[in-house]
């Protein structure tokens, strides 16, 4: 007769297969008797559940390595923002007459309406002019957004000092913050996609909301305490505000510097190509992040490198009707020779490369056209034909270059650029002459 087998059931807790922990073991002594052996403490279980409310499921394997340092610096800069917001809001409310017997509700309401209206209009205008450019330069616009937010709060703090220009000053401040809202929201979406390794962008965004809520509560409490302590002491208010602003700018700089984006934009593509042409090797995203600019180019133009010089000489999506007659003749000849099988045309004038995209071109064609233009720009000093030399380089190296990009962790499906709104169509017709 076969002896009855013992059944053992284990209980495990966790959100990812690599992060599970055993919490209990249930052993069947007989058909009616069980023994339960618990592992770990209830406190550890509760603390783990609490932590899961603030970090993405499967953390840390579900996010990129730069997620933690970025979030630490981002929360610190957010904390300083909320503290300063209490100081600027206190000054703003004082300026519109809160607490003054002579102040009227309708007057304060109208001033607040103008402030909000200017902000909404500013957000629409900023989206119109820069909306398509935010993805391609997420790091730079992230910094610019926070700097504009600093300017907006500074305007609120300054407003009580100039009563006659109060409405104008607060409208400028609201305008600055409207830029912040658009740029910060758009770049945050791009960064969330970067962090998501397991298609968990929604989870990362939700957990970031929890983190920001805690930072907001702490910042508001500290801000109220600081506002109470410094009330009536203008020197202390300005010292606190400016000190926190300096820290805010530093924390933002450190946060952006932590990022190692794997998408290709114009500058990162230029850095990778130049290094490949010199060494035959592809730089990693971390190596490129150390080299690329994160401040607006007009700030750093005094120390421009060859990379900056090169990619700023390429203009994607040129308008075909903007060319003169001689240039059009050159383009038509090139369409039938150098670029007969391509979905783009390149034209060089005074050291600048203008790229005309075909109306049926794909994202891969845009990337190829941009790399080809960079190669041509790099070969401009050669006496021979840059069209022939650049095409020869593309034929010999582009496929290998593209494969090495993918194997090095780069997303080479597309190039992040401002929207290409001008395209052209050309075809090669065979002329059949009738012979009598």
Task: Report if pTM > 0.85.
Answer: no
**Three-class DSSP category at 179:** helix
Residue 106 — pLDDT band, cuts 50, 70, 90?
A: low
- pLDDT tens for 48-58 read 666 777 888 87
Residue 51 Cα distances to 14, 23, 45, 79, 322, angstroms: 12, 17, 10, 20, 58
CA distance 203 to 53: 10
Helix (H) or strand (E) holding 393: helix 386-407
**Three-class DSSP category at 81:** helix
- pLDDT tens for 316-371 read 999 998 888 898 988 888 887 778 888 999 998 888 999 999 999 999 999 999 99
Q: How far is CA 312 from the centre of its chain?
A: 20
105 pLDDT higher than 60: no
CA distance 327 to 316: 17
The answer to whether residues 193 and 128 touch, using CB atoms and an 8 Å cutoff, is: no
CA distance 247 to 243: 6
166 pLDDT higher than 90: no
**Three-class DSSP category at 347:** strand
Given this model, what pLDDT does residue 10 score? 74
Class for the domain spanning 67-259: mainly alpha
Domain ranges of the chain: 8-51, 67-259, 264-416
User: Which of 59-68, 113-122, 402-411 shows the lowest per-residue confidence on average (mean pLDDT)?
Assistant: 113-122
Would you state the structure tokens that stand for residue 426, as one six-digit string?
A: 């050309």
Please report where in the chains the tokens 């000053």 appear, as a residue.
169
Given this model, what pLDDT does residue 410 score? 94
Given this model, what pLDDT does residue 258 score? 92
Find the mean pLDDT for residues 232-253: 90
Please report where in the chains the tokens 């099988």 appear, as a residue.
341
421 pLDDT higher than 70: yes
Angle subtended by helix axes 166-195 and 138-158, to nearest 10: 150
């Amino acid at each position: 007769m076969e002896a009855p087998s013992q059944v053992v059931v284990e209980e495990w807790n966790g959100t990812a297969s690599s992060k599970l922990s055993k919490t209990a073991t249930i052993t069947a002594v007989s058909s009616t008797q069980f023994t339960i052996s618990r592992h770990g403490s209830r406190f550890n279980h509760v603390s783990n559940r609490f932590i899961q409310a603030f970090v993405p499921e499967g953390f840390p394997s579900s996010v990129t390595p730069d997620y933690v340092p970025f979030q630490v610096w981002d929360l610190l800069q957010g904390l300083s923002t909320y503290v300063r917001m209490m100081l600027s809001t206190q000054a703003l409310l004082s300026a519109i007459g809160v607490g003054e017997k002579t102040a009227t509700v309708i007057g304060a309401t109208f001033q607040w309406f103008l402030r909000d209206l200017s902000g909404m209009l500013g957000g629409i205008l900023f989206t119109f002019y820069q909306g398509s450019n935010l993805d391609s330069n997420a790091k730079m616009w992230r910094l610019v957004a926070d700097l504009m937010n600093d300017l907006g709060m500074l305007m609120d703090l300054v407003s009580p000092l100039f009563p006659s220009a109060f409405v104008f000053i607060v409208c400028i401040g609201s305008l600055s913050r409207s830029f912040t809202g658009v740029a910060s929201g758009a770049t945050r979406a791009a960064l969330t996609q970067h962090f998501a390794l397991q298609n968990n962008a929604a989870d990362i965004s939700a957990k970031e909301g929890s983190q920001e809520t805690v930072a907001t509560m702490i910042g508001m409490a500290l801000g109220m305490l600081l506002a109470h302590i410094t009330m009536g002491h203008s020197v202390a208010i300005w010292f606190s505000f400016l000190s926190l602003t300096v820290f805010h700018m530093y924390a933002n700089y450190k946060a952006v510097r932590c990022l190692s984006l794997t998408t290709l934009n114009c500058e990162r593509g230029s850095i990778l190509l130049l290094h490949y042409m010199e060494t035959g090797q592809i730089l990693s995203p971390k190596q490129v992040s150390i080299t690329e600019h994160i401040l607006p180019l007009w700030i750093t133009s005094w120390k421009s490198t060859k990379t900056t010089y090169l990619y700023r000489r390429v203009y994607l999506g040129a308008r075909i009707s903007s060319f003169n007659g001689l240039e059009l003749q050159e383009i038509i000849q090139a369409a039938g020779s150098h670029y007969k099988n391509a979905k783009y045309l390149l034209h060089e004038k005074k050291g600048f490369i203008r790229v005309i995209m075909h109306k049926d071109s794909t994202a891969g064609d845009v990337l190829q056209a941009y790399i080809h233009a960079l190669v041509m720009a790099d070969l401009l000093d050669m006496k021979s034909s840059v069209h022939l030399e650049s095409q020869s380089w593309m034929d010999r190296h582009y496929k290998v270059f593209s494969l090495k990009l993918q194997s090095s962790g780069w997303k080479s499906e597309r190039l992040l650029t401002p929207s290409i709104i001008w395209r052209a169509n050309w075809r090669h017709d065979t002329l059949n002459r009738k012979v009598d």
